[in-house]
Amino acid sequence: MRRPRPRTLGIVCVCLVLLAAGVVAGVSWARGWTGSVTVLANWSGGEKEQFERAMKRFEEEYRIDVVYQGSSALSQVLAADLAAGTQPDVAVLPGPGELTAYAADGRLEPLDGLFEAGAYDRVWMPKVAGEDGRKRTYWLPVKTGLKSMVWHAGNLSKDQITRTAGEPDRWCLAMESGATSGWPGTDWVEDILLQQAGPQVYEKWATGDLDWTDARVRKAWKTWGDMVGAGDRTRVDRVLKDNFGQDCPRESLEHLGSFRDTQWKPVAGDFVHSSEVVPDARTASDHWEVSGDLAAMLNATDEAKKLIRFLADPDTGLPDFTVNKKATAPDRHEDPLKRKIGSILRGSEQRLCWDASDTMPPALRDAFHRAVLHFLVKPGELEEQLRGLEALNGDGRPTLPVCGTG
């Protein structure tokens, strides 16, 4: 039997590729698709399911195919895609830090006119400078979270919470989170600085206008170390290995965000503002740290614009929690805990500050993650760690409003 010649094989391969493309095109035509939009995000579990349900409704309404690209290394993937010119149409990133830099570099398309005016407060959708220096809106919050929370079982009194907070072994603490291990510790340091030094100092530090070696920043680190037992090798070894999503003992306290509501529900969990347990917190400290997954448009296609409008629609069911002021008020039968969290996030009288590390450049943010892990093991080397972080602080960073009202 004669073997087919290489040229013949090449022709066959090309034909198969064209046939496959034809089949895909035929399927798309049969389903009535009018186009597609690519979305890069990092959602899993219930959040991903909620988003997929919303996208199914979008596909059915607009006949636009949503191609979801999930990654746990969003920053690296997006940077590589941009360098190659293959960026997604829409990217959903945690926090405004990278997006502010991308806007200044002309990488993002403005969203002005794609959402209803007055639907979001300034802290969630500020206008930031683009490549030409003009200020526009470049991102849309599709999911938000509350921080500055200390979770506890519902049967604990205020006095019991205060006493428990003074015992390092009673804190449910875990640092492991894959490539982002350490972020629960950065949340602690940020929040303590906010409650002790106030929003003006916090904002200056978050945007690079306050040195990491400043006495107030140093105090926040040391306060955290004292609260959780930094340097206690037996405890710290366990803390570094434990995953942040672990279950907590009923008699413990936990300093994590609103996404933990489900884990604390079996013990009638509730939360207090972190200022109630942070030593030397300012009197009547009332600022909450917040986080958010923000959708930005990198290709201004008709399909991408329609998706942004859909995400800004107050009737679109997105992962908890929405801060769209036009959205229907929570049903009175809704989970009381979710209603309480949602009212803080959407309340116009609430004073909110972005998670500081989410406003920082990726290199500094990642170094911050590593520094808190090092500090837990060797708190005596804090000064060296702070000098290293200050060396990455840099000048000329694009700025944005970090604190504001909800």
- Collect all residues with Cβ–Cβ distance below 8 Å to 328 and sequence separation of at least 6: 314, 315
- Domain-embedded: residue 316: yes
Q: Are residues 257 and 388 in the same domain?
A: yes
Of the candidates 242, 127, 181, which has an alpha carbon nearest to the alpha carbon of residue 368? Answer: 181
My answer on whether 265 and 360 are in the same domain is yes
Residue partners of 4: CB distance under 8 A and separation at least 6: 12
Q: Judge if 65 and 104 occupy the same domain.
A: yes
Provide the token pair at 337: 């805990």
- From 78, 77, 98, select the one nearest 397 (Cα to Cα): 98
Q: 45 or 108: which carries more pLDDT confidence?
A: 108
117 and 260 share one domain:
no
The three-state DSSP-derived secondary structure of the chain is CCCCCHHHHHHHHHHHHHHHHHHHHHHHHHHCCCEEEEEEECCCHHHHHHHHHHHHHHHHHHCEEEEEEECCCHHHHHHHHHHHCCCCCEEEEECCHHHHHHHHCCCCECCCCCCCCCCCCCCCCCEEECCCCCEEECCEEEEEEECCEEEECCCCCHHHHHHHHCCHHHECCCCECHHHCCHHHHHHHHHHHHHHHCHHHHHHHHCCCCCCCCHHHHHHHHHHHHHHCCCCHHHHHHHHHCECCCCCCCCCEECCCHHHHHHHHHHCCEEEEHHHCCCCCCCCCCEEEEEEEEEEECCCCHHHHHHHHHHHCCCCCCCCCCCCCCCCCCCCCCCHHHHHHHHHHHCCCCEEEECHHHHCCHHHHHHHHHHHHHHHHCHHHHHHHHHHHHHCCCCCCCCCCCEEEC
Please give the angle made by the CA atoms of 47, 51 and 57, to the nearest 5 degrees. Answer: 150
State yes or no: cis peptide before 271, omega within 30 of 0: no
For residue 69, give the CATH number of its domain.
3.40.190.10
Within 13 Å of residue 370, how many CA atoms lie on the same side as its CB?
12
Of 308, 337, 366, the position where a domain reaches its end is 337
- Return mean pLDDT, the chain: 88
Is 137 within a domain?
A: yes
Given a cut of 90, whether residue 96 has pLDDT beyond it is yes
- For residue 35, list its beta bridge partners: 64
- Shared domain check, 377 and 246: yes
pLDDT mean over 360-384: 96
Report yes or no: 253 and 135 within 8 Å, Cβ to Cβ.
Answer: no
252 pLDDT above the threshold of 60? yes
Does some domain include residue 156?
A: yes
Cβ-Cβ contacts under 8 Å for 206 (sequence gap 6 or more): 190, 353, 354, 356, 359, 360, 402
Q: Which of 337, 367, 394 is the last residue of a domain?
A: 337
In the predicted model, what is the mean pLDDT of residues 21-27?
40
Give me the mean pLDDT over the 88-92 stretch. 97
The reply to whether 253 and 266 lie within a common domain is yes
Total domains in the chain come to 2
Comparing CA positions, the residue from 185, 148, 245 lying closest to residue 376 is: 185
| Enclosing domain of residue 99 | 34-144+292-337
Alpha carbon distance 212, 217 (integer Å) = 6
Residue 20 within a domain = no
Report pLDDT for 406. Answer: 63
| 30: confidence class by pLDDT, cuts 50, 70, 90 | very low
Total number of residues shown for the chain: 406
- Residue 165 and residue 115 in contact, taking contact as beta carbons nearer than 8 Å: no
With respect to residue 90, please indicate whether it lies within any of the assigned structural domains. yes
Confidence tier at 333 by pLDDT (50, 70, 90): low
Identify whether residues 252 and 304 lie together within a single domain.
no
74 with 196, same domain? no
Same domain, 189 and 240: yes
Render pLDDT for 265-323 as a digit per residue (tens, 0 to 9). 999 999 999 999 999 999 888 999 999 999 999 999 999 999 999 999 998 988 778 89
Neighbours of 396 (CB within 10 A): 7
Q: Rounded mean pLDDT of 4-11?
A: 38
Domain boundary among the residues 337, 370, 395 is at 337
CA 100 to chain centre: 14
Q: Is residue 28 part of a domain?
A: no
Asked whether residue 64 falls in the same domain as residue 132, the answer is: yes
Q: How far apart are CA 396 and CA 208, in angstroms?
A: 9
* Same domain (yes/no): 276, 363: yes
CA distance 246 to 191: 21
Same domain, 216 and 230: yes
Q: Is residue 188 in some structural domain?
A: yes
Encoded tokens for 59: 């596909």
Are the C-beta atoms of residues 337 and 269 closer than 8 Å to each other? yes
Mean predicted confidence (pLDDT) in 235-260: 95
Residue 11 lies in a domain: no
